[in-house]
């Protein structure tokens, strides 16, 4: 307690700049984290509106709200915005907020770099979204940007590529900052294998980012030179190879999937022990499983392209390596289950989202396993079955984990408690309608509906209608989230204790609420560390 | 009315879920809307079997894992006075079991999948080869060894209905978006090899009932083959499954499977028509369906 008192005294000497300077020249990890989260929320809204437009167009067979080219732009931009604009910046925002607090550091190691990596983003997003308004409209070749189709778009094409370069630079700088912070600023006694799982998963994610973002940059740059400088990397007529792009893209693309989901694993590993009032089961196994998943993610990219005509041996290899990922992923799910086993469970909003994650992410995992079997994949590939699969891992997977994380840590951030009743409404509406939205898409894909089509044969109407209705309600209920957060920050009931959660352990809960501006100005003592790291 | 239909559908689904796999109880049309078609080739049937095997394995795993989770959620809650067993933090024995058992399950799935994969990619000993060329937006088919070639685009009725502000209801058009002006005709009971490529962007040739999906890529010639069961004459429909631009949804595939004799007759007729067309004025040519 003496520890906390000291910090409270320090808090009065924050010396934070006021007004716009505080944000534009921000070097504080909390301010930057907040800006990341607000930017991500804004992009989630824009990407969500695109999704609503897509579901409206697909409400029934013969619907013609948008021209097919516009529809293709919407699906393309929905994907890019959600991946690069919503989910990735959310994780960086959470990393900024939580990593220094969780490892006993005052701030991120490279605060100015941190400022740069955030402030690149608004420009990147503006470029990307502005491409909707240039002649020819936004890029409409899918977020995967396959050539030669990608070469057919107008001014939006270089704009998107430049936006991707910017976002890539931002991600790499952010990842460097995370690694340097974790490697150098851990409090004495915070050994690697005592770090909270969120820090561990982010450390591994950061390495993935550094490894693959340059690969994406290379792939899109080759497209750029094909288009403007007469090269033929991917142009068959010039001796190039369109399939080369697919290989390079998915070499980035598959680790990217884990960049989106590994921090979610970390969050879930924080929330479930807290509300089970029991330490995480198999902590070390969790760390090793995460590392194995990250390693395997580099050797499975071919499963995104089983129908391009790879040699049988290659298809076999990618099938087996992909199936292998089920083992460490299974270990994680089993460990979470074992953590709840013989615990003392309570169901506050973070736990509700974590439990929904467990069930629904597992469903996404099952369809992933089915997709790994090449012969079946020949039927699933490019259909709504795939759409259902990756939305199950990304929406009730990554997005629910983000909601869970905010509901878990928000009282620590602002020292106030949110409206639990409203948050439970948010949860129940989300969890019911996310299933109404995505589950029928499995049926559509199996029955033969290709993805990325603006119109379809009448026999697909019923399930599309169900899906669209689920989508509209799911989308509308997300409006609760910013309202709940806003209400909490403005007028939530103050949280007196360091931790509002009975079962929470971790250094962040040893700080007073709200957390002081410069988290740990002096390293936590061994006693605090021991109390915080009771796993 | 739509709502009523929707309600009925949901009711059917709920019933089906309650029946818990009582497949025969389902109307055939209801099942078709929910699952992969069995198809009409040896390969498509085997893919269906593999798909169902994987599905039931997943259901089995889910039953066990979700069962344990649900047990915890019900019986290990604080409100029931559950006391946490904080000593339960790891167990090497259990951890080894839940690593080994999944590996065994995976191996048991991988073996049939690998066998079928090798079988599917055997494109030798075909009796007929057809060159398939994707373009924005349609397909060109050339029967190797004859001068017959068919250009297959979305049917006129579907095209008209698909236009913005067409005012034509999709349901009033037969096989809306799944019908073409000139379908291809193939014989049943013969192994047919497709040589698939594209002249512009990447497309993908897919007919679910045949169990064939293969990308059409400029600069590459991909192979795929199928043999339709001798008693399965009929019309099979599919679509392009790789985003290829504005007309991606509007380049369906229609395959008419006929007896070998009928196929030979069709080929002869086409060949004559094509010669006539080459000699004389531009003729519209082929039969429509």
Answer yes or no: do B94 and B113 share one domain: yes
Max CA distance (Å), chain A: 73
Query: Which among A62, A280, A376 is the nearest to B51, CB-wise?
Result: A376
- Residue A87: its pLDDT value, please? 97
Whether residues B47 and B144 share a domain: the answer is: no
Q: Are residues B191 and B60 in the same domain?
A: no
In a domain, A274, yes or no: yes
Contacts of B223 in chain A (CB under 8 A): 309
Residue A286 has pLDDT above 90, yes or no: yes
Which of A282, A307, A332, A375 would you mutate first to test chain B, the one with the most B CBs within 10 A? A375
> Angle, to 10 degrees, between the axis of helix A68-80 and the axis of helix A29-57?
150
Amino acid B165: pLDDT: 85
User: Within this chain, do residues B271 and B215 fall inside the same structural domain, yes or no?
Assistant: yes
Contact criterion met (CB below 8 Å) for A208 and A255: yes
CA B260 to each of CA A257, B184, B265: distance values in angstroms, whole numbers, following the listed order: 48, 14, 9
CA A329 to CA A335: how far, in whole Å? 10
Query: What residues in A contact B162, CB-CB < 8 Å?
Result: 62, 455
Does A336 share its domain with A404? Answer: no
Mean pLDDT of B241-256: 96
Residues A478 and A380 in one domain: yes
Top residue of B170, B172, B254 to mutate, by most chain A CBs within 10 Å, is B170
- Res A527: pLDDT: 81
CATH of residue B168's domain is: 2.60.40.420
Residue A272 and residue A280: Cα distance in Å, rounded? Answer: 8
Residue A332, domain extent: 196-222+244-344
Question: By three-state DSSP, how is residue A293 classified?
Answer: helix
Q: How many CB atoms lie within 10 A of CB B287?
A: 14
**Cβ atoms B136, B201 nearer than 8 A:** yes
- Verify that A368 and A303 share a domain, yes or no: no
Kindly report which listed range (A15-24, A154-163, A264-273, A496-505) carries the lowest average pLDDT score: A15-24
- Taking contacts as CB-CB distances below 8 angstroms, the residues of chain B near A74 are none
**What's the number of domains chain B is made of?**
3
Residue A148 lies in a domain: no
pLDDT tens digit string along A166-224? 999 999 999 999 999 999 999 999 999 999 999 999 999 999 999 999 999 999 999 99
Identify whether residues B107 and B227 lie together within a single domain.
no
Q: For residue A437, is it within any domain?
A: yes
Say if residue A310 is in the same domain as residue A327.
yes
B87 and chain A in contact, CB less than 8 A:
no
For residue A125, cis peptide bond before it (omega within 30 degrees of 0): no
Q: Which of A290, A317, A344 is the last residue of a domain?
A: A344
The residues facing B240 across adjacent strands are: B205
Q: Which residues of A touch B222 (CB under 8 A)?
A: 308-309
Q: Which pLDDT score, from 0 to 100, does residue B276 have?
A: 81
In the predicted structure, residue A529 carries a pLDDT above the cut 90:
no
Boundary-marking domain end, from A344, A366, A382: A344
Q: Domain for residue B285, yes or no?
A: no
Taking an 8 Å cut-off on Cβ atoms, the answer to whether B58 and A141 are in contact is no
Catalytic residues of A: 78, 107, 143, 170-171, 254, 256, 258, 269, 303-304, 329, 332, 451
Domain contains B137: yes
Same domain, A358 and A329: no
Specify if B37 maps to a domain: no
Q: How far apart are CA B156 and CA B71, in angstroms?
A: 58
Residue B17: the pLDDT is: 46
Q: Which of B201, B220, B236 to mutate to test the interface with A (most CBs of A within 10 A)?
A: B201
Pick from A67, A309, A337: CB nearest B164: A67
Residue A9 predicted with pLDDT over 80: no
For chain B, the residue count is 289
Nearest to A345 among B61, B78, B103 (CB): B78
How far apart are the CA of B285 and the nearest CA of chain A, in angstroms? 27
CATH number of the domain encompassing residue B49: 1.10.287
Q: Is the peptide bond before A148 cis (omega within 30 degrees of 0)?
A: yes
Closest CA to A281 of B76, B89, B93, B69: B89
**Which of residues B120, B149, B174 is at a domain's end?**
B120
Confidence of residue B30 (pLDDT cuts 50, 70, 90): low
| d(CA A323, nearest CA chain B) in Å | 7
Do B224 and B97 fall within a single domain? no
Q: In Å, how far is A173's CA from the nearest CA of chain B?
A: 33
Instruction: Looking at the complex, report in whole angstroms how far the Cα of residue A22 sits from the nearest Cα belonging to chain B.
Output: 44
Pick A345's closest partner by Cβ from B72, B162, B204.
B72
Confidence of residue A6 (pLDDT cuts 50, 70, 90): very low
Same domain, A309 and A351: no
Cβ-defined contact of B50 to A375 (cutoff 8 Å): yes
Q: Domain check: are B135 and B224 in the same one?
A: yes
In a domain, A268, yes or no: yes
Across the interface, do A359 and B69 touch by the CB < 8 Å criterion? yes
Q: Which residues pair with B41 in a beta bridge?
A: B228
Domain that holds residue B13: 2-32
B51 CB contacts (<8 Å, ≥6 apart)? Answer: A370, A373, A376, A379, B36
Same domain, A408 and A467: yes
Q: Which of B120, B138, B171 is the C-terminal boundary of a domain?
A: B120
Residue B1 has pLDDT above 50, yes or no: no
Tally A–B CB contacts below 8 A.
293
B135 shares contact with chain A (CB less than 8 Å): no
Question: What is chain A's mean pLDDT, rounded?
Answer: 94
Band of the pLDDT at A500, cuts 50, 70, 90?
very high
What is the DSSP code string of A492-525?
A: PEEP-SS-SSTT--SGGGGS-SSPPSSS-SSPPP
Classify strands B212-216 and B253-258 as parallel, antiparallel or unpaired.
Answer: unpaired
Residues B243, B152, single domain; the answer is yes
Contact B114, A317 (CB under 8 A): no
Mean pLDDT rounded to a whole number for chain B: 87
Are B175 and B50 within one domain? no
**Alpha-carbon distance A431 to nearest alpha carbon in chain B (angstroms):** 16
Residue A182, SS3? helix
Same domain, A276 and A305: yes
Same domain, B88 and B28: no
> What tens digit of pLDDT does each residue of B138-186 get?
999 999 999 899 999 999 999 999 998 888 888 899 999 999 999 999 9
Distance in angstroms (rounded) separating the CA atoms of residues A496 and A502:
13
Asked if residue A278 is part of any domain, the answer here is: yes
Start-to-end Cα distance in chain A: 21
Instruction: Using CB atoms, pick whichever of A68, A370, A451 lies closest to residue B55.
Output: A370
Nearest to A342 among B55, B88, B113 (CB): B88
In a domain, A187, yes or no: no
Number of domains in chain A: 2
What percent of chain A shows pLDDT beyond 70? 97
Residue B113 has pLDDT above 70, yes or no: yes
Tens of pLDDT along B184-239? Answer: 999 999 999 999 999 999 999 999 999 999 999 999 999 999 999 999 999 999 99
Asked if residue A99 belongs to a domain, the reply is: no
Contact A374 B240 (CB under 8 A): no
Same domain, A260 and A352: no
A437-460: average pLDDT: 95
Please indicate, yes or no, whether residues A325 and A371 belong to a single structural domain of this protein.
no
Closest CA to A358 of A379, A386, A338: A338
**Å between B194 CA and nearest CA of chain A:** 13
DSSP-assigned letter for residue B77: B
- Contact flag B222-A463 (C-beta cutoff 8 Å): no
The distance of B31 to chain A (nearest Cα, Å) reads 9
Decide if B265 is inside a domain.
Answer: yes
Strand partners, B203: B216
| A416 within domain boundaries | yes
| Judgement on whether residues A436 and A331 belong to the same structural domain of the protein | no
Task: Provide the CA A445 distance to its chain's centre, in angstroms.
Answer: 25
**Is B47 an interface residue toward A (CB < 8 Å)?**
yes
- State whether residue B171 sits within 8 Å of chain A by CB: yes
Residues in chain A closer than 8 A to B250 (CB atoms)? 68
Among candidate residues A317, A344, A371, the one where a domain is terminated: A344
Rounded to 5 degrees, φ, ψ at A451 are -85, 170
Residues B176 and B139 in one domain: yes
Residue B286, in any domain of the structure: no
At A422 the pLDDT is 97
Using an 8 Å CB-CB cutoff, list chain A residues near B113. 319, 373-376
* pLDDT category of residue A14 using cuts at 50, 70 and 90: low
- Digit-coded pLDDT (tens) for B10-21: 444 444 444 444
**Does one domain contain both A335 and A400?**
no
Predicted complex ipTM: 0.92
Burial (CB count within 10 angstroms: exposed 0-12, middle 13-18, buried 19+), residue B236: buried
Task: Express as a percent the part of chain B with pLDDT over 90.
Answer: 74
């Amino acid at each position: 307690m003496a520890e906390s008192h000291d910090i409270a005294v320090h808090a009065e000497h924050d010396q934070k700049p006021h007004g716009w300077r505080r944000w534009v020249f921000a070097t504080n990890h909390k301010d930057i984290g907040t800006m990341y989260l607000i930017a991500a929320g804004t992009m989630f809204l824009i990407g969500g509106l695109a999704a609503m437009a897509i579901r409206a167009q697909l409400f029934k067979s013969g619907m013609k709200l948008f021209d097919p080219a516009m529809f293709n732009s919407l699906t393309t931009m929905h994907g890019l915005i959600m991946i690069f604009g919503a989910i990735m910046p959310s994780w960086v925002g959470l990393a900024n907020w939580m990593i220094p607090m969780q490892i006993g550091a005052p701030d991120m190691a490279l605060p100015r770099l941190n400022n740069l990596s955030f402030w690149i983003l608004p420009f990147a997003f503006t470029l990307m979204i502005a491409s909707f308004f240039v002649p020819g409209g936004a890029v409409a070749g899918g977020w995967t940007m396959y050539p030669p189709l990608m070469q057919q778009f107008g001014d939006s094409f270089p704009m998107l590529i430049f936006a991707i370069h910017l976002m890539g630079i931002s991600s790499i700088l952010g990842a460097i900052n995370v690694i340097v912070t974790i490697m150098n600023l851990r409090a004495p006694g915070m050994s690697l294998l005592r770090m909270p799982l969120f820090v561990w998963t982010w450390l591994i994610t950061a390495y993935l980012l550094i490894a693959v973002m340059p690969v994406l940059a290379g792939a899109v740059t080759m497209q750029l030179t094909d288009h403007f400088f007469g090269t033929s990397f991917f142009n068959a007529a010039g001796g190039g190879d369109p399939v080369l792009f697919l290989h390079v893209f998915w070499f980035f693309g598959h680790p990217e999937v884990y960049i989106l989901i590994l921090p979610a694993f970390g969050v879930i590993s924080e929330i479930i022990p807290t509300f089970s009032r029991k330490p995480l089961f198999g902590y070390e196994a969790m760390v090793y499983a995460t590392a194995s998943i990250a390693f395997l993610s580099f050797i499975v990219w071919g499963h995104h392209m089983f129908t391009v005509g790879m040699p049988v041996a290659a298809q076999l290899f990618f099938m087996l390596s992909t199936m292998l990922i089920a083992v460490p992923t299974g270990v994680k799910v089993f460990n979470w289950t074992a953590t709840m086993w013989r615990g003392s469970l309570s169901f506050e909003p973070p736990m509700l989202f974590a439990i929904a994650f467990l069930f629904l992410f597992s469903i996404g995992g099952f369809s992933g396993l089915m997709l790994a079997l090449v012969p079946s994949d020949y039927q699933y590939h490019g259909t709504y079955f795939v759409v259902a699969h990756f939305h199950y891992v990304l929406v009730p997977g990554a997005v629910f984990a983000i909601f869970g994380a905010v509901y878990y840590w928000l009282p620590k951030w602002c020292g106030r408690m949110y409206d639990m009743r409203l948050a439970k409404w948010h949860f129940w509406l989300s969890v019911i309608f996310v299933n109404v939205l995505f589950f029928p898409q499995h049926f559509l894909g199996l029955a033969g509906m290709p993805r990325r089509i603006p119109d379809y044969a009448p026999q697909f109407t019923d399930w599309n209608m169900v899906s669209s209705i689920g989508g509209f309600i799911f989308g509308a209920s997300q409006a609760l989230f910013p309202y709940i957060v806003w209400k909490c920050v403005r007028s939530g009931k103050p949280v007196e204790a360091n931790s509002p959660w009975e079962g929470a352990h971790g250094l962040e809960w040893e700080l007073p609420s709200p957390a002081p501006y410069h988290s740990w100005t002096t390293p936590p003592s061994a006693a605090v560390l021991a109390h915080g790291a009771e796993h | 009315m739509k709502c009523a239909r929707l309600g009925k559908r949901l009711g059917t689904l709920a019933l089906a879920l309650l029946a818990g796999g009582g497949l025969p109880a389902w109307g055939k049309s209801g099942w078709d809307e929910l699952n992969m078609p069995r198809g009409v080739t040896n390969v498509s049937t085997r893919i269906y079997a593999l798909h169902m095997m994987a599905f039931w394995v997943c259901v089995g795993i889910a039953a066990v894992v979700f069962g344990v989770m649900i047990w915890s959620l019900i019986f290990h809650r604080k409100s029931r006075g559950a006391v946490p067993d904080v000593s339960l933090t790891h167990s090497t024995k259990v951890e080894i079991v839940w690593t080994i058992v999944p590996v065994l399950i995976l191996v048991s799935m991988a073996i049939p999948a690998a066998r079928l994969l090798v079988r599917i990619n055997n494109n030798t000993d075909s009796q007929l080869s057809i060159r398939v060329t994707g373009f924005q937006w349609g397909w060109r088919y050339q029967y190797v060894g004859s001068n017959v070639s068919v250009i297959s685009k979305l049917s006129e009725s579907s095209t008209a209905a698909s236009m913005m502000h067409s005012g034509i209801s999709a349901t009033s058009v037969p096989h809306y978006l799944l019908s073409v002006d000139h379908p291809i005709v193939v014989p049943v009971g013969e192994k047919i090899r497709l040589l698939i490529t594209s002249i512009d962007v990447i497309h993908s040739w897919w007919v679910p009932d045949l169990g064939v999906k293969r990308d059409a890529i400029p600069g590459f010639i991909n192979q795929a083959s199928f043999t339709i069961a001798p008693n399965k004459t009929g019309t099979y429909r599919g679509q392009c499954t790789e985003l290829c631009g504005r007309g991606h949804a509007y380049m369906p595939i229609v395959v008419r499977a006929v007896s070998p004799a009928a196929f030979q007759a069709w080929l002869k007729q086409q060949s004559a028509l094509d010669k006539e067309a080459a000699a004389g004025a531009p003729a519209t040519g082929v039969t429509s369906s």
